[in-house]
Structure 1
Amino acid sequence: MIKSTRDSGTSPPTGVFVPVPTFFHPASSSNALQAKVDVETQVKHSIHLAKNGIRGLVLLGSTGEAIHLSKSERFELVSGVRKGLSDAGFPDYPIMAGVLVNSVDEVLEWLEDFTRAGAQWGLVLAPGYFGLAANQENLKEWYTVVADHSTIPILIYNYPGVTNQIMVTPETYTHLAQHPNIVGCKMSHGNVSYHVQVSLDPEIDHEKFRVYSGFGQQLGPIVYFGAAGVIDGLAAMYPKTVARLMDLAEKRPTEPEALKEIQTIQYAVSRAEEFIGRWGIVGIKEGVYRVLGMGTLEGGRLPLKGKLPEGEWGKWHAATSRMEELERSL
């Protein structure tokens, strides 16, 4: 196993990260079984985000369809984005890479590959194949073994919707936050109490252990109470608006004018997030294509191939037009 070239335990910055979708060439452009990864568009989109207030990327998370890519494709994508960002003047731009498998040995293989490719952190999904049968003590041990041997610092990724409803409890976060190579978590669920408990826990060093939500509709409320930020899919389309909300919330202002702006943007973001919640990866990809002109209308890889139903994008005009107006104003 290789040794990391970065200091163990280095924490990611606060702010908005984007769980970027993985871009593919049109299926019709290749005779292969699956559409090929489009690294050029991936880089273009990443640079756009870096230039518009986004403080970091999550490559190959759930939105990035890591489970649909081969080992070589994952390496090509992460290394390609790292090179593209460096060439564009962002040599140390923050990159987390998603690890979505259950076997400890395979998790460590992914992390080693991502270290070689240039990611600074691994976002490691809770091993939820057996769901609630994986008790909290075993989760603690699993993450500890991974962190002990990982070549880069890791974050705990709790997404009950793809892990048979497994839920990491605040007590487990408190325990794992003490590990020098575990530097944060992403909670992709609606239990705001868990976000607040972990963000304010006096037994956790919050300069070292960062708490992120997977939902932009929670951004203002949780950042006001200590969270580090969000890893938010809507920001793939409207980066400046979500980043502006983060910048304001992070200052925790009390003056009426600033509070009014936060409320206005949070309302717009929360309304538009309903589209993300309804259509997920396919919706994000179509949104990026329609708003930024990047990618295709062919969705992801099977079984996520396809586009929105005819007329569906137009049904969300009230929410998306509000976001577009804000984005243009910033």
Structure 2
Amino acid sequence: MSSELLFKGVIPPVSSIFTSEGKLDKDGMGKLIDFLIESGVDGLFFLGTGGEFSQMSVIERKEVAEFSINYVGKRVPVLIGTGSASTREVIELSLHSKEIGADGVVIINPYYWPLSDEHLFAHYAEIAENVDIPILLYNFPGLTGQDLSPDFVRKLVDHYSHIVGIKETVDTAGHIREMILKVKSNHPQFSVLCGFDDHLFNTLALGGDGVISASGNFAPELTVGIYQAFQNNDLRTAIELHQRLAHIPLMYKLDSPFVNVIKEAIQMRGQTISTYVLPPARSLSEQKKQELKSILQKAGLV
């Protein structure tokens, strides 16, 4: 695998847009994709948590992946989420992603059985030995119940050079710092990307590479602005945008799962899309919509 850093900057985890019947809304998806690319993002990640992959069948996941890759048309790098509780299913979805032209896959660890470190390593090893497309790990212990520790990740990357990065959806700078110091310092081509919006600035300051966070769907000007300002050493602008972005995580506490909150925010920011979410997620209540609007106002977004 090349020593080049393959994935960096702002890579929104794109919301999957559905019709009111729960079918893929290709027009809505296309509008959102065009908006994000025009906003200057550095890549797009489909079928992540906000993409509602966990509520889809394998056939539906493949449909979203195929449409998204074809529609993006190589304008920016595309990552496809292929995580599953089943190792065999991860391999099937990852091979499919490679076949249809994905630039990489993002794999969350199994989220039903808690695995021993030995079995968790074997899970990722079996995938890496059967899939030669670039792989990013996805660490979200708040949902999986199991953390991918920096020592564990370093062991994986030592063995498999095409494991090229991680999405760190952890609400602690210390974990991100240790991932950078223990993994990236030994493998400079390894991308460390935070998963929570308000950790972008400190991730960059610690030597990380960017962000894969939900606000990229509805406020890409904030994260893109922070990333670009940091690269240009314009720390004043980066800090100002960081302070605005700090309001955003309050949104995610409005409901659970918060996929509905993201879609309503996209709608409030002027993108005409369907806000339908797949069960067991449900529509956001009118009261919570007003609370969401208030948060967006405090961030200077509406």
Check whether TM > 0.5: yes
Match of 1:293 in 2: 271
Partner of 2:97: 114
Report how many residues are paired. Answer: 299
Q: Deviations over 1:187-238 (max 9, x none)?
A: 1111321111111337744542101111011010111111111101011001
**Aligned residue for 1:311?**
287
Q: Which of the numbers 275, 279, 284 marks the counterpart of 1:302?
A: 279
Report the Cα offset of residue 170 of structure 1: 1.2
User: Gaps spanning 5+ residues in structure 1: where?
Assistant: 1-6, 28-34
Q: Which residue of 2 aligns with 1:13?
A: 7
Distance apart, 1:288 and its partner CA: 0.9
Q: Is the 8 A contact 1:8 1:153 kept in 2?
A: no
2:11 paired with 1:24? no
Distance 2:49 2:131 in 1: 20
Aligned: 1:82 with 2:82: no
Measured on the aligned residues, the alpha-carbon RMSD in Å equals: 2.2
**Secondary structure at the counterpart of residue 61 of structure 1:** coil
How far, CA to CA, are the matches of 2:132 and 2:164 in structure 1? 13
Give distance in 2, aligned partners of 1:70 and 1:138: 25
Residue 173 (structure 1) aligns with: 153
Q: Which ranges in structure 2 are unaligned for 5 or more consecutive residues?
A: none
3-state SS, counterpart of residue 311 of structure 1: helix
What is the SS of the residue equivalent to 1:97?
Answer: strand
Residue 311 (structure 1) shift: 3.2
Contact 1:41 1:295 in 2 (8 A): yes
- Taking a change above 3 Å as real, the CA distance of residues 62 and 10 of structure 1, as seen in their structure-2 partners, is farther
Matched residue type, 1:38: D
Q: Which amino acid aligns with 1:14?
A: K
Matched, 1:67 2:47: no
1:98 aligns with 2:78: no
- Equivalent residue for 2:127? 146
Could you tell me whether the CA contact under 8 Å between 1:95 and 1:121 is conserved in 2?
A: yes
Which residue identity does 2:27 align to in structure 1? E
TM-score (ref. length: structure 1): 0.84
Cα deviation for residue 283 of structure 1 reads 0.1
CA distance in 2, matches of 1:286, 1:237: 9
Once the two structures are superposed, residues 21-51 of structure 1 have per-residue CA deviations (whole angstroms, 9 ceiling, x without a partner) of 1100123xxxxxxx11112211221121011
Match of 2:259 among 261, 273, 281: 281
Paired residues of 1:21 and 1:285 also in contact (CA < 8 A): yes
Q: CA deviation at 1:92?
A: 4.7
Deviates more, 1:12-21 or 1:229-238: 12-21
TM-score in terms of structure 2 length: 0.91
Q: 1:269 to 1:206 in 2, by over 3 A?
A: farther
In structure 2, the CA distance between the partners of 1:324 and 1:296, relative to structure 1 (3 Å rule), is: farther
Considering only CA atoms, is the larger Rg found in Structure 1 or Structure 2? Answer: 1
* Inter-CA distance 11–103: structure 2 relative to 1 (3 Å threshold): farther
Q: 1:210 to 1:106 in 2, by over 3 A?
A: same
For residues 136 and 9 of structure 1, do their structure 2 counterparts lie closer, same or farther at Cα, with a shift above 3 Å needed?
farther
Kindly indicate whether residue 204 of structure 2 is the aligned counterpart of residue 223 of structure 1. Answer: yes
User: Contact between 2:108 and 2:137, CA under 8 Å: does it hold in 1?
Assistant: yes
Conserved? CA contact 2:136–2:165, under 8 Å: yes
Q: How far apart are the structure 2 equivalents of 1:324 and 1:12? A: 33
Q: For residues 239-259 of structure 1, what are the alpha-carbon distances to aligned partners after superposition, in whole Å with 9 as ceiling and x for unaligned?
A: 1221011112344x3xxxx33
Distance of aligned partners of 1:316 and 1:77 in 2 relative to their CA distance in 1, 3 Å threshold: closer
